[in-house]
């Protein structure tokens, strides 16, 4: 919010305007990810759910390792957008690892795909070079 003296959210001058510009870029990135959101990978979800129920310890690797099926699928789906924002494939495990609870809830049917993916897109947008 811009005040009468030109301050943006309590930050004055050029720094305040840069904050708004950075926020707009990050929001645009999240929107771009959501616009390119592929359909829910139901067969992958079902397979991962079955594996998780049989061997819960393996879930972390399946979801978060670069070579994991979900991480690989997600990278293939969002690669152009992630790379343009400075997120490398090697960054994906950290990004997914911090979101594993929500991914788990999606796998178990307690979160809709759109909810989980929107949160993941927001998480990714906050970790871009644009937001630094």
**What are 73-121's pLDDT values in tens digits?**
888 888 988 888 888 888 888 888 888 889 889 988 999 999 999 898 8
pLDDT at site 85: 81
CA distances from 82 to 56, 85, 110, 115 (A): 29, 5, 27, 19
Higher pLDDT, 127 or 8: 127
CB 12 within 8 A of CB 19: no
Q: How far is CA 123 from the centre of its chain?
A: 4
Which whole number is the average pLDDT over 52-70? 69
Which pTM was predicted?
0.70
Q: What is the mean pLDDT of residues 26-30?
A: 71
Average per-residue pLDDT for the chain: 75
């Amino acid at each position: 919010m811009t005040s009468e003296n030109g301050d943006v959210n309590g930050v004055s001058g050029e720094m305040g305007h840069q904050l708004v510009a950075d926020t707009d870029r990050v929001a645009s990135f999240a929107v771009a990810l959501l616009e390119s959101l592929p359909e829910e990978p139901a067969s992958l979800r079902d397979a991962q759910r079955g594996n998780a129920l049989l061997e819960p310890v393996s879930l972390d690797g399946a979801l978060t390792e670069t070579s994991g099926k979900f991480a690989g699928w997600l990278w293939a789906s969002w690669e152009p957008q992630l790379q343009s924002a400075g997120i490398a494939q090697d960054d994906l495990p950290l990004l997914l690892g911090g979101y594993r609870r929500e991914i788990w809830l999606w796998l178990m049917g307690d979160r809709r795909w759109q909810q989980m993916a929107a949160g993941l897109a927001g998480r990714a947008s906050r970790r871009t070079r644009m937001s630094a």
